[in-house]
């Protein structure tokens, strides 16, 4: 079928439907050009295509072959994220594979964070997992049995392979229609139209340069020069320090910049090669935004993404003030509870969004929507030895202002069996200042009430470890976003 | 409308989001003595039924002899048009503020202007009740009925009758939901229990049912008022099959029309595409009749959104004031493009609503969209319409292709049956798109929805499926 005006939108829908069962998935050509990326994680945008291309380059995948890797330095993100790459021959006349289906599975990270990659988990370079329809179970068992491998790795990968089967079934069915838009011409039109979508988006951007920098609490300096011309957006991080505490790969940095750019303008833009072409990221070699082995990446791909995203937003706000977010908690705190019976619960409680120049912040929000699954008390209770006593919006935590900062969340847990907690939450104790007269949002805090006592322990350390006995109670109070603009009247307690 | 002479004993009524259809027949719906499709914003369900009685010369001298079967999209319509009333919501104490937090964001992927999918509730009507069920179904703390006493007193003050109950772990053990429901029922309130809802998002379903209930009851009463002296047996199609009339509630009837269509499709071989005025669905043969709902709806609005060309938005408009072809609205929809491209075939009850003078206005709207197209050559308005029609057909073709891979084609001898008011409109378009398949419309294809309702109680061998009754 010849392509027509509108065919790209139909094809986009086909890809969305095919990949909707994959939480973090992409359709990529064998050279690593992204046709369609569907993921809530900014770090995936450029890393999924790259993982696909590298696996194919090393392993020469055929139709149905699947490779496995989690290596951040082979296109991955962090060692807790395992990526599967499957070769796809879709068209009858093709001699080799036409595309690669890439899917990434998240597992809880190993806390506390480590400085070296090999301490963060087991590192799996691109490895053949399914070859000529033979699933190498023994190999996967061996990887899953490694002491640093994520729990239930075998099961999660086996499940993901089934999900990929479903996606492949849809893609092959559509490609099997002789008049399908899913053809070389259809894909070309789709990528061309996507590029035009991005060009239209760019025409809305203010032209100019802006320079911002930030001193991180871990000591590094982060510098960004943003240059927006009529044809491209350049994020130049020259001057940024080498890694001390955490690192991001250059591709992960690209994803953080791209997502923060389109997110700042609330733009709905397909993520693919056509829309990536207008964005250039320059991260100096050996800076923590272009980390290389053996630098650890887990912290970088969570906390680091939020830091880069905020800096991008600040730089954009210099050129277009309406996009500015006020200060807000990072919203990327990670809490890991390990119970005596071996069960583990990992929570990423969302925080309040900083108010914008043109409106209030969103309550209980995760920056760039990473880890933004709704908090389900039923899931928490079902998977662990803890009772959720309450979950509620943390009232009055958002900073007052002409536009209020978003409120954080208050989670009250009561332990039913002993456990130990390890956490990493850079927003603990950190005030989220308002802008233009807006008041600060409440800092995040942790509170503990030991069974049989009424004394409150407060914890504001960004990282730590606590032991709990059955009956102890624990509050996670995430921070509120800063307000924007002078409030008309002072807040009354809600 | 068409009338005959024989006194019918069966009424099959399907109520869509904007149109209602009635078939009156004695034994076989294909031999209907009366058929009517009417536009609900202009003529209510009750008035349409009264008109049918008059046409059929049925009056109070007749014995009550009619068996009525109804399927309705009332809940879908009420939710889409926000016509319900915020109900009360009972949750476990401690979770009063968390109902909204359970909702996914609906804004673009990385948006900084995040919005959650709204819930039709009023925060002042969310109440916590003490009591807790554990994940394994054991009772951690008994339900505190004193809490319910206070809540009932408050609800009486604000005159709210419908109450959604969404307690934690109720699917593991519904005891507390059932206790609360009994307590509320005894006090004249209408409870909606999350554990009893269809689907995965049971809590949302309970809230939506409670929101829609008062309007659903109005619709039910309208039917009763029109037909009471003449009906001997009342039945409604629910998501799980045929139900007794007292089940006519928002908790039960949602998905009833889909159930009826699936049932009808199960009586056929191969693939059935329902081309409805509200939405399109593809039904596939197989061990379990598979439903592939097409995302595209005839009322899908045309906008200049993400893409450099006009395309269908995620949202659909209502038929009131309607797409532009009715002559009253400024909202361009998919069905308008079928109309200006002269693909739209005669549809009883629909065609008379079309205002021919709307054609230049539709072309004007397309001209505006064509001007804003980000393409090197600005297309003519009619070319924009043609592209949209192609996209519309292509969406259906994709769903059809997926269905073919379910293995239905071999049984179907390459035949695909089209039913519904837009069946005749879609036949040439789909034939052009898929010349390898044969698209078939029976003479009664346009009445597919109401046929489905009529056949909702029949099993594959033609016997009445009364086992599902009640």
pLDDT in tens, B331-371: 999 999 999 999 999 999 999 999 999 999 999 999 998 88
pLDDT of residue A332: 72
Q: What is the mean pLDDT of residues B385-395?
A: 95
- Compute the distance between CA of residue A105 and CA of residue A152 in angstroms, rounded to an integer: 12
Question: Are A13 and B169 a contacting pair at CB < 8 A?
Answer: no
Percent of chain A with pLDDT over 90: 71
Using the Cβ of A141 and the Cβ atoms of chain B, whether some distance falls under 8 Å is answered with: no
A211 vs chain B: nearest CA distance in angstroms? 21
Q: What is the mean pLDDT of residues A410-425?
A: 95
Lowest mean pLDDT among A44-48, B66-70, B436-440, B463-467: B463-467
Using the Cβ of A295 and the Cβ atoms of chain B, whether some distance falls under 8 Å is answered with: no
Asked if residue B423 and residue B275 are part of one domain, the reply reads yes
B456 neighbors B237 (Cβ within 8 angstroms): yes
Full domain range(s) for residue B442: 269-447
Asked if residue B277 and residue B174 are part of one domain, the reply reads no
Is residue A230 helix, strand or coil?
A: coil
Residue B6 maps to a domain: no
Is residue B425 helix, strand or coil?
A: helix
Note the helical H segments in B374-464.
Answer: 381-403, 409-412, 423-433, 448-454
Asked if residue B186 and residue B335 are part of one domain, the reply reads no
pLDDT of residue B456: 78
Using the Cβ of A180 and the Cβ atoms of chain B, whether some distance falls under 8 Å is answered with: yes
Q: Looking at beta carbons, which residues of chain B come within 8 Å of A259?
A: 109-110
Query: How many C-beta atoms lie closer than 10 Å to residue B460's C-beta?
Result: 10
Percent of chain B with pLDDT over 70: 90
Better pLDDT: B318 or B144: B144
Q: Which 382-421 residues of chain B touch chain A by CB within 8 A?
A: 383-384, 387-388, 390-391, 394-395, 397-398, 401-402, 404-405
Average pLDDT, chain B: 88
Q: Looking at beta carbons, which residues of chain B come within 8 Å of A397?
A: none
Of the pLDDT bands very low, low, confident and very high (cuts 50, 70, 90), residue A168 is very high
Residue B83 maps to a domain: no
In angstroms, the Cα distances linking A365 to A239, A483, B105 are: 31, 15, 9
pLDDT of residue A118: 92
B368 neighbors B385 (Cβ within 8 angstroms): no
Question: Are A266 and B98 a contacting pair at CB < 8 A?
Answer: no
- Compute the distance between CA of residue B220 and CA of residue B228 in angstroms, rounded to an integer: 11
Residue A263 maps to a domain: no
Question: Are A266 and B405 a contacting pair at CB < 8 A?
Answer: no
Residue B213 maps to a domain: no
DSSP secondary structure of B56-114 = TT--TTS-S-EEEEEEE-HHHHHHHTT-S---EEEEETT-TT-TGGGSPB-S-TT-SS-
Q: Which 243-272 residues of chain A touch chain B by CB within 8 A?
A: 259-260, 262-264, 266-271
ipTM value, please give it.
0.90
Percent of chain B with pLDDT over 90: 64
- Compute the distance between CA of residue B181 and CA of residue B173 in angstroms, rounded to an integer: 14
Of the pLDDT bands very low, low, confident and very high (cuts 50, 70, 90), residue B112 is confident
Residue A42 maps to a domain: yes
pLDDT of residue B468: 35
Q: Which 205-234 residues of chain B touch chain A by CB within 8 A?
A: none
Full domain range(s) for residue A426: 325-494
Angle, vertex CA B279, rays to CA B275 and CA B280, nearest 5: 45
Residue A408 maps to a domain: yes
Pick from A482, A259, A237: which is nearest to A367 by CA?
Answer: A259
pLDDT in tens, A258-291: 999 999 888 889 999 999 999 999 998 878 899 8
Residue A276 maps to a domain: no
Of the pLDDT bands very low, low, confident and very high (cuts 50, 70, 90), residue B460 is very low
Residue B18 maps to a domain: no
pLDDT of residue B376: 66
B8 neighbors B25 (Cβ within 8 angstroms): yes
Residue B15 maps to a domain: no
pLDDT of residue B295: 67
Q: What is the mean pLDDT of residues A327-351?
A: 85
Using the Cβ of B118 and the Cβ atoms of chain A, whether some distance falls under 8 Å is answered with: no
Hey, of B103, B104, B109, which one would you mutate to test binding to chain A, going by the most A CBs within 10 A of its CB? B109
Using the Cβ of B153 and the Cβ atoms of chain A, whether some distance falls under 8 Å is answered with: no
Using the Cβ of B351 and the Cβ atoms of chain A, whether some distance falls under 8 Å is answered with: no
Asked if residue B298 and residue B186 are part of one domain, the reply reads no
On the question of pLDDT at B413 being above 80, the answer is: no
Question: Are B110 and A263 a contacting pair at CB < 8 A?
Answer: yes
Average pLDDT, chain A: 91
Q: What is the mean pLDDT of residues B152-158?
A: 96
Of the pLDDT bands very low, low, confident and very high (cuts 50, 70, 90), residue B198 is confident
pLDDT of residue B6: 54
- DSSP letter at B200? S
Lowest mean pLDDT among A474-483, B53-62, B153-162, B354-363: B53-62
Q: Which residue has the tokens 């400085």?
A: A115
Please name the member of B140, B308, B311 whose beta carbon is closest to the beta carbon of A196. Answer: B308
At B398, which CATH number?
Answer: 3.30.420
Angle, vertex CA A141, rays to CA A137 and CA A142, nearest 5: 120
Question: Are A177 and B107 a contacting pair at CB < 8 A?
Answer: no
pLDDT of residue B294: 62
Q: What is the mean pLDDT of residues B373-395?
A: 87
Asked if residue B274 and residue B134 are part of one domain, the reply reads no
| HSE toward the beta carbon, residue A487, CA cutoff 13 A | 18
Lowest mean pLDDT among A188-192, A223-227, B66-70, B407-411: B407-411
What is the number of structural domains in chain A?
A: 2
Asked if residue B405 and residue B292 are part of one domain, the reply reads yes
pLDDT in tens, A84-128: 999 999 988 888 999 999 999 999 999 888 889 999 999 999 999
Of the pLDDT bands very low, low, confident and very high (cuts 50, 70, 90), residue A238 is very high
Residue A489 maps to a domain: yes
Lowest mean pLDDT among A47-51, A180-184, B370-374, B417-421: B370-374
What is the number of structural domains in chain B?
A: 2
Using the Cβ of A387 and the Cβ atoms of chain B, whether some distance falls under 8 Å is answered with: yes
On the question of pLDDT at B459 being above 80, the answer is: no
Q: Which 161-180 residues of chain B touch chain A by CB within 8 A?
A: 168-169
Q: Which 205-244 residues of chain A touch chain B by CB within 8 A?
A: none
Q: Which of A153, A176, A196 is the C-terminal boundary of a domain?
A: A196
Asked if residue B429 and residue B300 are part of one domain, the reply reads yes
pLDDT in tens, A347-404: 989 899 899 888 899 898 877 655 456 678 999 999 889 999 999 999 999 999 999 9
pLDDT of residue B366: 93
Q: Which residue has the tokens 């988006």?
A: A201
Q: Which of A144, A162, A196 is the C-terminal boundary of a domain?
A: A196
On the question of pLDDT at B451 being above 60, the answer is: yes
Pick from A485, A111, A149, A96: which is nearest to A298 by CA?
Answer: A111
Q: Number of residue pairs across A and B with CB atoms under 8 Å?
A: 160
User: Per the structure block, which two tokens stand in for A463?
Assistant: 């990282």
Question: Are B307 and A260 a contacting pair at CB < 8 A?
Answer: no
Q: What is the mean pLDDT of residues B151-166?
A: 96
Q: What is the mean pLDDT of residues A220-238?
A: 94
Asked if residue B295 and residue B164 are part of one domain, the reply reads no
Better pLDDT: A3 or A25: A25
pLDDT of residue B458: 65
Asked if residue B429 and residue B305 are part of one domain, the reply reads yes
pLDDT of residue B203: 93
Q: How distant is the alpha carbon of residue A27 from its chain centre?
A: 18
Of the pLDDT bands very low, low, confident and very high (cuts 50, 70, 90), residue A80 is very high
Q: Which residue has the tokens 């044969």?
A: B438
Residue B315 maps to a domain: yes
Residue A229 maps to a domain: no
- Compute the distance between CA of residue A377 and CA of residue B131 in angstroms, rounded to an integer: 15
Q: Which of A133, A162, A196 is the C-terminal boundary of a domain?
A: A196
Using the Cβ of A5 and the Cβ atoms of chain B, whether some distance falls under 8 Å is answered with: yes
Question: Are B98 and A197 a contacting pair at CB < 8 A?
Answer: no
Please name the member of A10, A259, A390 whose beta carbon is closest to the beta carbon of B391. Answer: A10
Question: Are A259 and B109 a contacting pair at CB < 8 A?
Answer: yes
Better pLDDT: A254 or B328: A254
Q: What is the mean pLDDT of residues B375-388?
A: 86
pLDDT of residue A1: 59
Residue A453 maps to a domain: yes
pLDDT of residue B467: 35
Using the Cβ of A133 and the Cβ atoms of chain B, whether some distance falls under 8 Å is answered with: no
Helix axes B381-403, B423-433, angle to 10 degrees: 80
Question: Are B168 and A197 a contacting pair at CB < 8 A?
Answer: no
pLDDT of residue B5: 46
Residue A284 maps to a domain: no
Q: What is the mean pLDDT of residues A143-151?
A: 95
| HSE toward the beta carbon, residue A336, CA cutoff 13 A | 17
- Compute the distance between CA of residue B281 and CA of residue B324 in angstroms, rounded to an integer: 24
pLDDT of residue B375: 67
Using the Cβ of A489 and the Cβ atoms of chain B, whether some distance falls under 8 Å is answered with: no
On the question of pLDDT at B410 being above 90, the answer is: no
Asked if residue B280 and residue B160 are part of one domain, the reply reads no
Asked if residue B185 and residue B327 are part of one domain, the reply reads no
Lowest mean pLDDT among A244-258, A302-316, A371-385: A371-385
Lowest mean pLDDT among A328-342, B220-234, B384-398: A328-342
Asked if residue B277 and residue B426 are part of one domain, the reply reads yes
Q: Which 351-380 residues of chain A touch chain B by CB within 8 A?
A: 353, 356, 359, 362-365, 368-369, 372, 374-378
């Amino acid at each position: 079928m010849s392509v027509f005006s509108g065919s790209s939108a139909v094809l986009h829908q086909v890809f969305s439907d095919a990949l909707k069962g994959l939480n973090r998935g992409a359709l990529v050509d064998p050279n690593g050009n992204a046709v369609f990326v569907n993921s809530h994680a900014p770090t995936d945008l450029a890393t999924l295509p790259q993982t696909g291309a590298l696996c194919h380059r090393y392993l020469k995948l055929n139709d149905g072959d699947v490779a496995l890797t989690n290596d951040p330095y082979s296109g991955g993100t962090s060692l807790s994220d395992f990526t599967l790459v499957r070769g796809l021959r879709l068209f009858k006349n093709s001699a080799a594979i036409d595309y690669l289906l890439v899917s990434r599975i998240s597992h809880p990270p190993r806390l506390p964070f480590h400085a070296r990659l090999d301490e963060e988990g087991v590192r799996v370079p691109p490895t053949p997992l399914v070859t000529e329809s033979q699933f190498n179970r023994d190999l996967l068992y061996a990887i899953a049995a490694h002491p640093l491998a994520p729990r239930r790795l075998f099961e999660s990968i086996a499940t993901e392979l089934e999900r990929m089967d479903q996606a492949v079934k849809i893609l092959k069915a559509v490609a099997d229609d002789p008049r399908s838009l899913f053809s070389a011409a259809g894909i070309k039109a789709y990528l061309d139209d996507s590029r035009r979508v991005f060009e239209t988006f760019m025409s809305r951007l203010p032209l100019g340069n802006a320079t911002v920098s930030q001193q991180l609490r871990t000591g590094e300096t982060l510098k960004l020069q943003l240059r927006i011309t009529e044809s491209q957006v350049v994020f130049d991080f020259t001057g940024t320090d080498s890694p001390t505490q955490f690192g991001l790969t250059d591709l992960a940095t690209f994803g953080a910049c791209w997502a923060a750019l389109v997110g700042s303008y609330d733009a709905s833009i397909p993520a693919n090669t056509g829309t990536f072409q207008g964005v250039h990221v320059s991260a100096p070699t050996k800076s923590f935004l272009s980390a290389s082995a053996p630098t650890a990446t887990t912290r970088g791909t969570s906390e680091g993404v939020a830091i880069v995203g905020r800096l991008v937003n600040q730089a954009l706000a210099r050129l277009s003030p309406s996009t500015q977010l006020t200060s807000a908690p990072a919203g990327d705190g990670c809490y890991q509870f390990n119970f005596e019976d071996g069960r583990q619960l990992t929570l990423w409680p969302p925080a309040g969004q900083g108010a914008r120049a043109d409106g209030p912040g969103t309550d209980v929000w995760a920056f760039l929507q990473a880890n933004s699954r709704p908090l389900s008390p039923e899931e928490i209770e079902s998977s662990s030895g803890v009772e959720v006593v309450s979950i509620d919006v943390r009232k009055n935590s958002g900073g007052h202002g002409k536009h209020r900062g978003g409120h954080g969340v208050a989670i009250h847990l009561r332990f039913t069996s002993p456990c130990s907690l390890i956490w990493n939450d850079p927003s603990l104790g950190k005030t989220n200042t308002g802008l233009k007269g807006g008041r600060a949002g409440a800092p995040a805090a942790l509170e503990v009430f030991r069974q049989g006592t009424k004394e409150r322990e407060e914890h504001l350390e960004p990282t730590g470890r606590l032991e709990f006995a059955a009956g102890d109670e624990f509050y996670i109070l995430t921070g509120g976003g800063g307000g924007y603009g002078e409030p008309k009247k002072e807040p009354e307690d809600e | 409308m068409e009338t005959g002479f024989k006194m019918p004993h069966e009424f099959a009524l399907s109520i869509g989001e904007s149109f209602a259809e009635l078939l009156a027949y004695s034994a076989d719906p294909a031999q209907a003595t009366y058929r009517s499709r009417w536009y609900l914003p202009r003529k209510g369900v009750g008035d349409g039924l009264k008109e049918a009685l008059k046409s059929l010369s049925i009056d109070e001298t007749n014995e009550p002899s009619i068996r009525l079967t109804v399927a309705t999209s009332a809940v879908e319509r009420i939710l889409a048009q926000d016509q319900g009333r915020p109900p009360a919501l009972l949750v476990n104490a401690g979770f009063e503020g968390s109902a909204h937090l359970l909702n996914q964001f609906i804004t673009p992927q990385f948006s900084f202007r995040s919005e959650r999918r709204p819930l039709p509730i009023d925060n002042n009507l969310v109440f916590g009740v003490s009591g807790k069920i554990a994940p394994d179904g054991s009772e951690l703390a008994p339900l505190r009925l004193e809490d319910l006493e206070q809540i009932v007193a408050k609800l009486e003050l604000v005159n709210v009758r419908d109450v959604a109950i969404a307690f934690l772990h109720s699917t593991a053990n519904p005891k507390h939901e059932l206790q609360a429901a009994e307590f509320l029922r005894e006090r004249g309130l209408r409870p909606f229990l999350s554990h009893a809802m269809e689907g995965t998002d049971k809590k949302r379903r309970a809230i939506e049912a409670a929101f829609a209930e008062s309007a659903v009851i109005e619709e039910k009463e309208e039917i009763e008022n029109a037909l009471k002296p003449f009906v001997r047996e009342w039945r409604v199609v629910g998501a799980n099959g045929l139900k007794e009339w007292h089940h006519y509630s928002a908790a039960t009837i949602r998905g009833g029309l889909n159930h009826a269509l699936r049932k009808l499709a199960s009586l056929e071989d191969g693939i059935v595409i329902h081309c409805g005025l509200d939405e399109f669905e593809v039904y596939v043969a197989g061990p379990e009749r598979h439903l592939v709902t097409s995302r595209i709806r005839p009322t899908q609005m045309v906008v200049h959104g993400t893409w450099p060309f006009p395309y269908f938005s995620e949202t659909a408009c209502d038929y009131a004031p309607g797409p532009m072809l009715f002559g009253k609205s400024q909202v361009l929809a998919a069905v308008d493009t079928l109309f200006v491209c002269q693909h739209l075939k005669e549809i009883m009850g629909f065609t008379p609503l079309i205002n021919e003078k709307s054609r230049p206005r539709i072309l004007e709207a397309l001209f505006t969209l064509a001007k804003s197209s980000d393409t090197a050559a600005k297309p003519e308005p009619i070319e924009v319409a043609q592209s949209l029609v192609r996209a519309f057909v292509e969406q259906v073709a994709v769903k059809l292709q997926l269905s073919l891979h379910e293995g239905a084609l071999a049984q179907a001898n390459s035949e695909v049956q089209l039913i519904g008011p837009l069946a005749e409109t879609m036949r040439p378009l789909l034939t052009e798109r898929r010349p390898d398949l044969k698209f078939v419309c029976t003479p009664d294809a346009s009445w597919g929805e109401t046929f489905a309702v009529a056949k909702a109680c029949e099993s594959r061998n033609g016997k009445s499926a009364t086992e599902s009754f009640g």
